[in-house]
């Protein structure tokens, strides 16, 4: 029996797939039993004795803990779910394109590999905390840097925050990082630049990135509001850290990173000079695929792929000593 520690379960997708496989979902069961005994003394109208007993049992299963393993077993029995953990760990599978051929977009897969969580919002928060600590240390005369630089955001920082609000109507993540004395070339401006890059590479939100083989990335964006994903980013990272751990992802393959190296001609006009809407959309998509290829926007990068997650979990290991003691 596998015990799972769930990080994420998309119960809507799980229920929808189970409904298609089984024609419905059994989320509760009820069993009723009754025994009746009737005794008649003398004339039927004179006296009757009636004794009855009954019992009823009711079970309501948890959606995530019960339904997802049921779906996982059902998909495997129908040969719809493919465990690609071993294949994905082999570099040749990625270099030859074998995985893409065997498992095109839409394929249901399960992959277990080392991976880590990433959230641009948490990175900005952590960098801001680091900056404020340095500002505080300088304020009490214990700055770790010998460089002289006024603490706080100052006029430039205030102008930058006001301009960001004017341009976007909201605070930018990087604006929470104050100016602080540089440490080994790392200062507030550098950290703000890192956050700006992170916002493009990974759209703010919780991502899980698996690296099953060198140079290959399997990424999934975890949608907020789903089961088990109900804690703040700071709490998630305090629990799971930023190191790589072994995670299992189950879901459908969204898309593979593009192999295009040349952009198509930007010719999206009809013969009468009007814009061909279909060609224009494809030209823009080609531009975005190219940006994804070089890692500048949040799209899968060749040879990896994106996964639409049904569930993310890690298995609970059993004690090796207990396993050896079993007959």
- Tokens linked to 25: 């979902």
Domain contains 236: yes
pLDDT tens-place string over residues 212-248: 999 999 999 998 877 777 677 788 899 999 999 999 9
Residue-by-residue DSSP string for 213-253: STT--EEEEPPTTSBT--S-HHHHHHHH-SS-EEEEEEEEE
In this structure, what are the phi and psi dihedrals at residue 22, rounded to the nearest 5 degrees?
-110, 0
Q: What is the pLDDT of residue 170?
A: 45
In the predicted structure, residue 1 carries a pLDDT above the cut 80: no
Strands 305-315 and 218-221, sheet pairing: parallel
- 120 compared with 45, residue with greater pLDDT: 120
Task: Name the DSSP class of 186.
Answer: B
What is the C-alpha to C-alpha distance for residues 319 and 130, in angstroms, rounded to an integer? 39
What pLDDT is stored for residue 79 in this prediction? 94
Q: Residue 135: which domain range? A: 122-200
CA atoms within 13 A on the CB side of 99: 30
Count of alpha carbons within 13 Å of 109, Cβ hemisphere only?
26
Instruction: Please tell me whether residues 154 and 137 are part of one structural domain.
Output: yes
Q: For tokens 């719809």, what's the residue? A: 80
The verdict on 309 and 182 lying in the same domain is: no
Residue 165 above 50 pLDDT? no
Domain harbouring 214, CATH code:
2.40.50
Q: What is the mean pLDDT of the chain?
A: 82
Mean pLDDT of 45-63: 56
Residue 8 lies in a domain: no
Max mean pLDDT range (4-18, 45-59, 137-151, 202-216): 202-216
* Residue, of 183 and 245, whose pLDDT is higher: 245
Q: CA of 271: how far to CAs of 263, 268, 274, 279, 304, in Å?
A: 22, 10, 7, 13, 39
155 and 193 housed in the same domain: yes
Domain membership flag for residue 292: no
Residue 168: predicted pLDDT: 46
Per-residue pLDDT for 127 more than 90?
yes
- What pLDDT does 216 receive? 96
Q: Are 175 and 211 within one domain? A: no
Question: Would 312 be classed as within a structural domain?
Answer: yes
DSSP designation for 261:
-
Which of 117, 27, 19 is CA-nearest to residue 74?
19
pLDDT of 270 strictly over 70:
yes
**55-106 residue pLDDT tens:** 665 544 445 567 888 899 999 999 999 999 999 999 999 999 999 999 999 9
Residue 269 inside a domain? The answer is no
* pLDDT of 35 over the 90 cut: no
Report the pLDDT value the prediction gives residue 30, as an integer from 0 to 100: 57
Give me the pLDDT at residue 288, please: 93
């Amino acid at each position: 029996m596998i015990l799972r520690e769930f990080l994420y379960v998309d119960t809507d997708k799980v229920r929808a797939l189970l409904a298609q496989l089984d024609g419905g979902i059994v989320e509760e069961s009820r069993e009723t039993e009754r025994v009746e005994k009737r005794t008649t003394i003398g004339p039927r109208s004179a006296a009757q004795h009636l004794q009855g007993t009954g019992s009823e049992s009711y079970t309501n299963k948890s959606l995530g803990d019960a339904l997802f393993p049921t779906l996982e077993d059902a998909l495997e029995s129908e040969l719809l779910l493919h465990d690609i953990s071993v294949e994905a760990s082999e570099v040749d599978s990625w270099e030859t394109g074998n995985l893409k051929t065997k498992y095109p977009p839409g394929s249901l897969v399960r992959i277990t590999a080392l991976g880590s969580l990433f959230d641009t919002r948490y990175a900005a928060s952590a960098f801001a905390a680091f900056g404020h600590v340095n500002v505080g240390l300088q304020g009490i005369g214990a700055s770790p840097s010998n460089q002289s630089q006024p603490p706080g955001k100052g006029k430039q920082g205030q102008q930058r925050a006001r301009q960001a609000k004017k341009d976007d109507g909201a605070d930018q993540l990087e604006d929470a990082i104050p100016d602080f004395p540089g440490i080994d070339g790392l200062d507030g401006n550098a950290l703000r630049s890192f956050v700006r890059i992170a916002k493009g590479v990974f759209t703010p939100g919780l991502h899980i990135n698996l690296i099953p083989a060198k140079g290959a990335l399997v990424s999934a964006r975890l949608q907020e509001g789903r089961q088990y994903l109900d804690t703040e980013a700071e709490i998630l990272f305090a629990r799971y850290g930023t190191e790589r751990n072994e995670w299992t992802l189950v879901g459908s393959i969204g898309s593979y990173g593009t192999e295009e190296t040349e952009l198509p001609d930007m010719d999206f006009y009809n013969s009468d000079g009007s814009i061909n809407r279909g060609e224009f959309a494809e030209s823009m998509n080609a531009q975005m695929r190219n940006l994804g290829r070089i890692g500048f926007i949040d799209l899968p990068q060749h040879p990896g792929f994106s996964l639409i997650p049904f569930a993310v979990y890690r298995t609970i290991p059993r004690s090796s000593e207990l396993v050896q003691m079993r007959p």
